Amino acid sequence: MGLFDKLRGEFIDIVEWIDDSNNTLVYRFERHQNEIKNGAKLTVREGQTAVFVNEGQIADVFTPGMYSLTTANLPVLSTLKGWKYGFNSPFKAEVYFVSTRQQTAQKWGTRNPITLSDARFGMLELRAFGTYSIRVKDAGVFLKEVVGTDGHFTSEEIAGQLKSMIVTRFTDAAGEAQLPVENYASNVNEISDFVQEVISPEFEQYGLELTKFLIENVSMPEEIKKEIFELSRLNAIDLNKLAQMKAAKAMEKAAENPSGTAGAGMGMGMGFAMANQMGQAFGNQQQAAQPQQAPASASPPTPPPVPPALTFFVVLNGQQAGPFDMNTLKQMAQQNQINREVLVWREGMANWTAASQVTELNSVFGSVPPPIPGQ
């Protein structure tokens, strides 16, 4: 430091920080021997907080505004320094300017895949990434817990710790969600809100506020994605169809294995068995779907099938139960498990309705004797 800089530091009367960066969180105001004149002007701009530190101990904190540094404006520092009747000479203190602006577009992502268990696909791996925004909420806590004596602290210096914390909590949230793997992408807003709520208290321990947390994408292995696309073309997704599809793929791979004549014969046999099994399955479905046609020869007409038994669902203890046929409902009425006010529903009804309003149930309660008077 030259003579001119030394003299300027000793007689400086303006303490301020003009931030020309986008990632600086803390800047220590530098001057010769940390001396500040009595009555010096402190300027704290919007988006800043000034913290005075005396011998490693946080003293006074200033929010945006302009201040004249006297004993009236430095009550904590005056006590630490023992200024009972004011002072006239320069005093020594470290001044840290802390940026309280939001640090946006901070990136996070799963460096390694997250292993999850899915009811249909078993164990699988997911990856996720997104962005988050933070700001310093408590400058004193942030200096004490994170910055220390660093004179120029940037958001990159704490990004690694925050990313690890985010990925840990995201992994836990994804496991607790227990969603079908294809539904993670459609629930990123809900998962984002949940992770932000869970992790915010941990950020506050560092004096930070997590103002926004976003999941941009959740990806899965390509083979799982292909299976989901194939399953989506089926009428309904269930475990039996999934098992059949996986068995068929395993047979195809075994048939493709070049292991000589025996392997070829085995592959052909497995292929024929698979074709036969699938043919029978599709044949049964077609028979069930198509109406039976009468043979060409003159034969007595076949009577129509017996209509299905009339059944109702019932609300018991606030839960849906059933369906129950008419005989079961009569027994339940006789045992006082249901009454005329119970809510019922069957196929064809628009809403749940009291049993007394359903004509078909008149016979159920007609055979039930009324309660004994006085009981």
Gap between the Cα atoms of 94 and 101, Å rounded: 22
Shared-domain flag, residues 70 and 132: no
* Type of residue at 198: V
**pLDDT, tens only, 29-42:** 987 777 888 889 99
How far is Cα 59 from Cα 112, in angstroms, rounded to an integer?
A: 43
Per-residue pLDDT of 95-125, as tens digits, reads 999 999 999 989 999 888 888 887 777 888 8
Last residue of a domain, one of 182, 197, 223: 223
With respect to residue 256, please indicate whether it lies within any of the assigned structural domains. Answer: no
Give me 292's structure tokens: 């039976």
User: What is the chain's mean pLDDT, rounded?
Assistant: 79
* pLDDT exceeds cutoff 50 at 1: no
Task: Please say whether the beta carbons of 26 and 143 come within 8 A.
Answer: yes
Is 240 contained in some domain?
no
Whether 34 and 111 share a structural domain: no
- Are 55 and 107 in the same domain? no
Alpha-carbon gap, residue 298 to 284, rounded angstroms: 27
Task: Look at the chain and report how many structural domains it folds into.
Answer: 3
| Least trusted range by pLDDT, from 140-154, 227-241, 306-320 | 227-241
In terms of domains, do 156 and 217 share one? yes
Select from 80, 99, 118 the last residue of a domain.
99
Q: Is the pLDDT of residue 180 over 50?
A: yes
Who's near 346: CB < 8 A, 6+ residues apart?
A: 310, 311, 312, 313, 323
Percent of the chain whose pLDDT exceeds 90 = 23
Q: How confident is the model at residue 183 (pLDDT cuts 50, 70, 90)?
A: confident
pLDDT in tens, 331-370: 888 878 888 888 888 887 878 888 888 887 877 777 556 6
Whether the per-residue pLDDT at 200 is higher than 90: the answer is yes
Distance CA 318, CA 262 (A): 62
201 and 128, same domain (yes or no)? yes
How far apart CA 6 and CA 240 sit, in angstroms, is: 83
How many angstroms separate the CA atoms of 279 and 171, rounded? 44
Cis peptide before 75 (omega within 30 of 0): no
Q: What's the CATH number where 321 sits?
A: 3.30.1490.40
Write out the residue range of the structural domain in which residue 350 sits. Answer: 311-366
Of 70, 99, 128, the domain-final residue = 99
- Take residue 114 and report the two structure tokens written for it: 């997250």
Does the residue 267 lie in any domain?
no
Distances, alpha carbon 78 to alpha carbons 71, 228, 320, in Å: 6, 69, 72
159/187 same-domain check: yes
Q: Say if 360 falls within a structural domain.
A: yes
pLDDT digits (tens, 9 = 90+) for 243-267: 677 777 777 777 776 554 444 444 4
Any idea what the CATH number is for the domain that residue 206 is in? 3.30.479.30
Confirm whether 234 is domain-assigned.
Answer: no
Whole-Å CA distances, 347 to 168, 271, 312, 324, 357: 47, 43, 8, 13, 16
